[in-house]
């Protein structure tokens, strides 16, 4: 089952994907829709499938991520230690939804960074008591040069306007432990393919349940929050996102999360001019 959230003439509604349509909670059938991106016809707008009060991220949960951080960082040991330790790396990515966007909306890159990257990750949508209600796709957009300069700069490398995208749907699988393929493509402003790669959650060192248990330990995470579970897909070190690029993250079963790239400062300017 795939659940979506949308804005239409009746306001914000929830719906379920059925064949080639979305059926809203009010019983309205919206078609046609793109079965992959779940883009809806006019005047409907697909939104992030949940409006999370908080977004948390786990880090260095894949060997590929550990190796990338060891390569970039002035302080290499912290990543090896966090990869191997029972306690995972967990950090707060967003609260109040100020930095999180939905499908089709622009993600941001920092003006003080020359090495900006997408991080395609599986997102756990949490209910009461940390129950995993479903899975979505997340993009933990990050600055690798700021992160690599000093681990204490992590919040600046990870938390800024447009640094997180989620969507297009919440997928409720029959079995949570079934491995998922994560594919990412980055396209240039002329439509040329700049990067294509694939990984699988089978390569994750930790289970979803373990990450949630650590996250909720002595920590009142509100229901509806999302936990991104770490990236296992890292573009080559000479690649950096630029305005005009488009990031497409595809997970069979969930769909494709597509987001164009703009300067984070532009997102701040836009929100200021909209009051």
How many other CB atoms are there within 10 angstroms of residue 31's CB atom?
12
Strands 100-101 and 164-171: what pairing?
parallel
Nearest-approach distance from CB 190 to Mg ion, in angstroms: 28
81 forms bridges with which residues in the sheet?
none
# binding residues, ligand DO4 (CB under 6 A): 12
CA distance 171 to 5: 12
Interaction of residue 199 with ligand DO4, rule CB under 6 A: no
Nearest-approach distance from CB 263 to ligand DO4, in angstroms: 21
Q: Which is nearer to ligand DO4, 225 or 231 (CB)?
A: 231
Nearest-approach distance from CB 83 to ligand DO4, in angstroms: 9
Interaction of residue 140 with ligand DO4, rule CB under 6 A: yes
Q: What does 116 bind: ligand DO4, Mg ion, none (CB cut-off 5 to 8 Å by kind)?
A: none
**Which region among 24-32, 53-61, 240-248, 251-259 touches ligand DO4 (by CB under 6 A)?**
53-61
CA atoms within 13 A of residue 156's CA, in its CB half-sphere: 12
Site for Mg ion in 196-255 (CB under 5 A): 231
Interaction of residue 140 with Mg ion, rule CB under 5 A: yes
Please list the alpha-helical segments (H only) found in the chain.
63-72, 77-84, 144-149, 154-158, 208-216, 264-273
Nearest-approach distance from CB 227 to ligand DO4, in angstroms: 12
Residue 16's nearest CA partner among 1, 33, 26, 31 is 1
Interaction of residue 89 with ligand DO4, rule CB under 6 A: yes
Q: Which of 103, 106, 123, 230 binds ligand DO4 (CB under 6 A)?
A: 230
Cβ-proximal residue to ligand DO4, closest one:
59
CA distance 134 to 131: 9
Listing DSSP states for 14-83 in one string gives: EEEEETTEEEETTS-EE----TTT----TT-EEE-SS--SEEEEEES-SHHHHHHHHHH-SSTHHHHHHH
Q: What does 248 bind: Mg ion, ligand DO4, none (CB cut-off 5 to 8 Å by kind)?
A: none
Residues contributing to the site for ligand DO4 (CB under 6 A)? 57, 59-60, 65, 69, 89, 119, 140, 147, 154, 230-231
């Amino acid at each position: 089952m795939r659940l979506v959230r949308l804005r239409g003439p009746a306001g914000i509604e929830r719906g379920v994907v059925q064949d080639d349509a979305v059926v809203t909670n009010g019983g309205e059938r919206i078609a046609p829709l793109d079965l992959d991106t779940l883009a809806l016809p006019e005047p409907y707008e697909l939104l992030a499938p949940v409006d999370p009060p908080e977004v948390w991220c786990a880090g260095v949960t894949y060997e590929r991520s550990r190796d990338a951080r060891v390569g970039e960082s002035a302080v290499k040991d912290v990543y090896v230690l966090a990869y191997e330790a029972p306690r995972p790396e967990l950090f707060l990515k967003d609260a109040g939804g100020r930095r999180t966007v939905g499908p089709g909306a622009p993600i941001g890159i920092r003006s003080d960074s020359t090495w900006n990257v997408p991080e395609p990750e599986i997102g756990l949508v949490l209910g009461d008591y940390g129950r995993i209600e479903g899975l979505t796709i997340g993009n933990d957009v990050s600055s690798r040069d700021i992160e690599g300069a000093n681990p204490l700069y992590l919040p600046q490398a990870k938390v800024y306007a447009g640094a997180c995208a989620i969507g297009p749907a919440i997928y409720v699988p029959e079995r949570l432990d079934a491995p998922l393929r994560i594919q990412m493509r980055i396209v240039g402003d002329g439509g040329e393919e700049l990067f294509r790669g694939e990984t699988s959650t089978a390569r994750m060192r930790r289970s979803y349940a373990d990450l949630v248990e650590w996250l909720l330990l002595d920590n009142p995470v509100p229901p509806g929050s999302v936990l991104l579970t770490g990236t296992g897909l890292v573009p080559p070190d000479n690649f950096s996102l630029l305005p005009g690029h488009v990031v497409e993250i595809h997970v069979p079963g969930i769909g494709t999360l597509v987001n164009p790239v703009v300067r984070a400062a532009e997102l701040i300017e836009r929100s200021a001019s909209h009051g």
